[in-house]
Amino acid sequence: MYAIESSGLTKIYNGKRRTQKITALNSLDLQIDNGIIYGLLGPNGAGKTTFVKIILGIVNPTSGSAKLLGKNITDHEVRNKIGFLPENHKFPHYLSAEEVLKYFAKLRRFDSKNINSEIEKVLDKVKLSKWKKTKIKKFSKGMLQRLGLANAIITNPEILFLDEPTDGVDPIGRKEIKDLLLELKQNGKTVFINSHLLSEVESISDRVAILNKGNLIREGKVDDLITSKKNYIISCSEFIEDNIEILRANFQFTVNENFQINLKVDSTAELNSFMDKLRQHQIIINSINQQKSSLEDYFIKAIGDSDKI
């Protein structure tokens, strides 16, 4: 059983003119395992928020189906196991942090007899204990975001949906949120993140999907996506450049002043052949690493490639 599963999920909005149709999501198939942190990426208007909203019953799909923890999303009871932090959420400003958590926990039928101690615990986790009695109209954007996160996790949900979770949060707060999400993952929870901050997603996500114009263009483990299978960095001990220059006829590479060779190959056999040649020339190899790009670079390239089609 997957935590989140969608099959042929499509959403077409009506445009301003009756005949105009906007495809926000185009036949999206996704399977997300339990207990991982999953990042959904995409430029503005890619369909990320639409996907989350469909899954949570806020938007109705045009066609296709989706399941949460094996149950159809049309069964609203399944949302009892969900925590959600929407983008630009709006809590009733006349309530205090404590009251917000108590009220929303009740709406989610959180029957804990120790609700006050749970509130205490969760506010402590998001570093808002000192302000629990303060009306939230006095809260900064970062504090509201922390409260939103506390609200999403107070009922101990199985799946957590976070839309731009660190929006407006300072760097220290971001680090704390990141640690909290990793802790949730360790406790077996599934965390689904929708974010523009690619470095953040890269550092905590196990898998990511990239959407563009409603289509799924890439999906996989973060490491697999950002690791190039064609580019290698080979660190060598000092060598005479002439020894290596003769290899240029058969291989594509560059050399820097630190005796690092940046090699581009089409196959593992080609890589092995290059290594053999280095050894033949008495060049000592210290390390071989696959070249990694950042998720941001990968994302930009993927979107660029997708737009060309």
Contact residues for another protein, defined by CB under 8 A: 13, 53, 56-60, 76-80, 82, 84, 86, 88-92, 94-95, 103-104, 106-109, 161
Cβ 152 to another protein shortest distance, Å: 9
CA separation for the pair 112, 233 (Å, rounded): 55
CA separation for the pair 297, 225 (Å, rounded): 11
Cβ 104 to another protein shortest distance, Å: 7
Cβ 231 to another protein shortest distance, Å: 43
Cβ 204 to another protein shortest distance, Å: 22
CA separation for the pair 36, 273 (Å, rounded): 39
CA separation for the pair 288, 262 (Å, rounded): 10
N residues, the chain: 309
Q: Is the Cβ of residue 72 or residue 272 nearer to another protein in the bound state?
A: 72
Q: Is the Cβ of residue 159 or residue 201 nearer to another protein in the bound state?
A: 159
Residue with tokens 């900064």: 140
Q: Is the Cβ of residue 164 or residue 202 nearer to another protein in the bound state?
A: 164
User: What are the structure tokens assigned to 309, written together?
Assistant: 């089609």
Cβ 56 to another protein shortest distance, Å: 4
CA separation for the pair 33, 57 (Å, rounded): 20
Residue 284 CB neighbours (<10 A): 12
Q: Is the Cβ of residue 109 or residue 308 nearer to another protein in the bound state?
A: 109
